[in-house]
Chains A and B, each alone.
Chain A
Amino acid sequence: MITPSYRLLTVTGALMLGATFAHADTLRVLNWQGYGTDERWAIEQFEQATGHRVVHEYFNSEQEMLTKLRTNPGAYDVIVINAAYTQQAAEEGLIQPIDLADIPNAESLDAELAGHPHLSLDGEVYGAAWVWGVTSFAINTQAISEPPNSLQVLWDPQYAGRIGWRDDAVESVQFAALLTGQDINAPDDFDEIRERLYALKPQIRTFWGSENEWNQYMASGEFDMATYWSGSAARSGGHFGLPIEFVTPREGAIAWLDGLSMQTDAPHPEAAREFIDWMIAPDFYTYWDGEVGAPISANVEAVAALPDGAFNKALMEDLEQVERLPFMGPIEETMRRQMLEVWQETKTYFQE
């Protein structure tokens, strides 16, 4: 009674807006907030070029993203998925295969990244490689003058109550695994990991859940240092002008690759492919990285065009120095449950 009339309203609205284009669709994109696809200039350019409108929905964790896909079949067109979760999403039938031949700009993708095993399942590609980067931490340069070079500093009593941490089970466990030299996707010594996480209790000021939140906490001086993603650090330090510095610890960092996927039964597959193509084009990336700040593009042309002194150029050089650079990979079901449980246990321990 209400839903249909509401739909009618939005449909008419969309029709009126895009009256000049033959196929004007309203694309629904699922992503982290403030992560490239929702940049106002990018959407405006895309809308002008293709006539399609773009609306966004956001998630605060990969788990939440997967659940949104499960409970809202056929609702989204384009989804940004960490390659570590692409296979799981494909196995559950949440996303559809993509033929990279339909996406012209895919030609200039780095072959290794485009063909990354995490992005495909049973010989079919489910995600177009978009950007990659690392998870580590950033320091507030107003509070710390000498940048540390070890993950160990997050456990340093000197910074008790001054650390920002993301409330995420997988990321937390992987930090502890990295520190203790274990496989980040399948650590075998959970007691050691639990011990490390418990030891964070006096350190953590509060959890952060989104990039915007991270910026607000940093701006108001709540953190001396906080776990962070390289692309977001480029934005916070450059675009938002926060006094921060991203740290590449000698133990290494957690590397990830984000791909662009399409939901099974995506309502506008054609427009979705156009949007993916737009997003992996060197033009978009150059502007995004130059004006706002971004992770490292999977597009070789885009990376080649990086100016000297660019954040990501320096980062790539730094990353060659670290002991190891494990990529986030698919995590087995029982392992994932174990990670969730250990983190839940840790958070409970934090309460006492």
Chain B
Amino acid sequence: MALPDTVSVPRRGPSDARSAAWLMGPAYLWLIITVLLPLAAMFYFSFLSDVPIAGRNWYTTFSNYEAFFQQEFYRTLMWRSLRLGAEVALWCFVIGFPCAYVLAKTIKGRWREALFLLVIIPFWSNALIRIFSWTMVLRGNGILERFLAWLIPGFGSLDLMFTYPAVVIGLVHSYLPYMILTCYISLQTIDDSLVDAARSLGASRLTVLRKVILPLAMPGIVAGAVLIFVPVIGSFMEPRILGGREGTFLGTVIEDQFTAVFNWPLGAALSFLLLACVLIIFAVFQPILRRAS
């Protein structure tokens, strides 16, 4: 029944734009409603004195942003959150990069695929449950302490639960697969003959690592670090569960503003200040990130 398509379709033109709009429209409309508009609303809220619903008095003000600059503890917490993000990203690199290297360069075939899957699987399983599982390991008189006591008789208490290191451990566990994945991808693209050439010219292993491998893997490392840093600075569930007394960060304060204190405008302002930090980080690393993608 169908007639042959005799009219050749131009690859570029107004009809293209229309078809593209039909195909892409719904997806982008969805993103506008669920991401763009909420962010815009939040920006608006951050300049209000109270939540603009019936029965409450509100007016526009800068006081939420002023609070951040007047109260020293907000800045301390912001700094703490940024430091946490940087530390977690650093640990992920230290632990993850060698792991990615071993996977990408020394293991081949089905084994590599299977091991790679093993590394990725935890990342796709529930983050909340994985944090919860650390409470089982770290709690006083828990598995870890028992194991160490058995290994080294007379080993005292670690006292890791409810400390800053506990939060770091939990977060590194959560985000390590990210770093392994991005490093692995960029290491895969390095041509082995390049390395062999450097070796044959007399470079030591360390020099090759420093002068050849690391620079070439840099896009993957930076991509991994940014992908880890960004969610970590907004974390609140992990510090709440593992941090105890040492678990106060900007993320937990923002959550409090929304779920307990009902000071949404202040929460919105703090969120935007956090977002500003994210944007600055992205801007700084933009050139390397572009190479990575």
A positions within 8 Å CB-CB of B: 61, 63-64, 66-67, 70-71, 92-93, 165, 204-207, 220-222, 340-341, 344-345, 347-352
> When chains A and B are docked, how far (Å) is the Cα of A222 from the Cα of B140?
8
The main secondary structure of chain A at its interface with chain B is helix
Query: Total number of A-B contacts with CB less than 8 angstroms?
Result: 57
B55 touches A93 (CB 8 A): yes
> When chains A and B are docked, how far (Å) is the Cα of A267 from the Cα of B227?
46
> When chains A and B are docked, how far (Å) is the Cα of A207 from the Cα of B253?
15
> When chains A and B are docked, how far (Å) is the Cα of A345 from the Cα of B262?
19
Listed A/B pairs (17) with beta-carbon separation below 8 Å: A63-B260, A64-B259, A67-B259, A67-B260, A67-B262, A70-B262, A92-B56, A165-B245, A204-B245, A205-B162, A205-B245, A207-B244, A221-B140, A222-B140, A344-B253, A348-B248, A351-B164
Closest to A161 in B: B159
- Asked if B71 is at the interface (CB within 8 A of a chain A CB), the reply is yes
Residues A347 and B248 in contact in the complex (CB < 8 Å), given A220-B140, A221-B140, A341-B71: yes
For residue A301, give the distance in angstroms from its CB to the closest CB of chain B: 37
For residue A164, give the distance in angstroms from its CB to the closest CB of chain B: 10
A residues near B73, Cβ cutoff 8 Å: 344-345, 348-349
A residues near B244, Cβ cutoff 8 Å: 205-207
A residues near B261, Cβ cutoff 8 Å: 63, 67, 340
- Asked if B113 is at the interface (CB within 8 A of a chain A CB), the reply is no
Most chain A beta-carbon neighbours within 10 Å: one of B56, B253, B262: B262
> When chains A and B are docked, how far (Å) is the Cα of A204 from the Cα of B262?
27
For residue B128, give the distance in angstroms from its CB to the closest CB of chain A: 16
- Asked if B173 is at the interface (CB within 8 A of a chain A CB), the reply is no
Chain B stretch 244-264: residues in CB contact (< 8 A) with chain A: 244-246, 248, 253, 259-262
- Asked if B133 is at the interface (CB within 8 A of a chain A CB), the reply is no
Most chain B beta-carbon neighbours within 10 Å: one of A93, A206, A340: A206
Residues A351 and B80 in contact in the complex (CB < 8 Å), given A92-B55, A207-B244, A344-B253: yes
> When chains A and B are docked, how far (Å) is the Cα of A9 from the Cα of B76?
49
Closest to A350 in B: B245
A220 touches B248 (CB 8 A): no
> When chains A and B are docked, how far (Å) is the Cα of A61 from the Cα of B260?
8
Q: Pick from A92, A206, A351: contact of B248, CB below 8 A.
A: A351
For residue A271, give the distance in angstroms from its CB to the closest CB of chain B: 27
Closest to B163 in A: A206
Closest to B244 in A: A206
Chain B stretch 167-226: residues in CB contact (< 8 A) with chain A: none
Q: Pick from A61, A222, A351: contact of B76, CB below 8 A.
A: A351
For residue A233, give the distance in angstroms from its CB to the closest CB of chain B: 22
Closest to B249 in A: A351
> When chains A and B are docked, how far (Å) is the Cα of A348 from the Cα of B77?
7
Closest to A348 in B: B73
B141 touches A220 (CB 8 A): yes
B residues near A61, Cβ cutoff 8 Å: 260
> When chains A and B are docked, how far (Å) is the Cα of A232 from the Cα of B173?
36
Interface flags, B233-249, vs A, CB<8A=1, else 0 = 00000000000111010
Interface flags, B127-143, vs A, CB<8A=1, else 0 = 00000000000011100
> When chains A and B are docked, how far (Å) is the Cα of A351 from the Cα of B249?
9
For residue B168, give the distance in angstroms from its CB to the closest CB of chain A: 13
Residues A206 and B260 in contact in the complex (CB < 8 Å), given A345-B73, A351-B80: no
Known pairs A64-B259, A93-B55, A351-B76 / 17 extra A-B pairs, C-beta < 8 Å: A66-B262, A67-B259, A71-B262, A206-B244, A207-B244, A207-B245, A220-B141, A221-B140, A341-B71, A344-B248, A344-B253, A347-B248, A348-B76, A350-B246, A351-B80, A351-B164, A351-B248
Closest to B71 in A: A341
B residues near A352, Cβ cutoff 8 Å: 76
For residue B252, give the distance in angstroms from its CB to the closest CB of chain A: 9
A residues near B161, Cβ cutoff 8 Å: 206
* 7 nearest A-B pairs in the assembled complex, by CB-CB distance: A206-B244, A348-B73, A206-B162, A63-B260, A64-B260, A67-B262, A347-B248
B residues near A207, Cβ cutoff 8 Å: 244-245
B residues near A340, Cβ cutoff 8 Å: 261
B139 touches A351 (CB 8 A): no
> When chains A and B are docked, how far (Å) is the Cα of A352 from the Cα of B77?
10
> When chains A and B are docked, how far (Å) is the Cα of A163 from the Cα of B20?
63
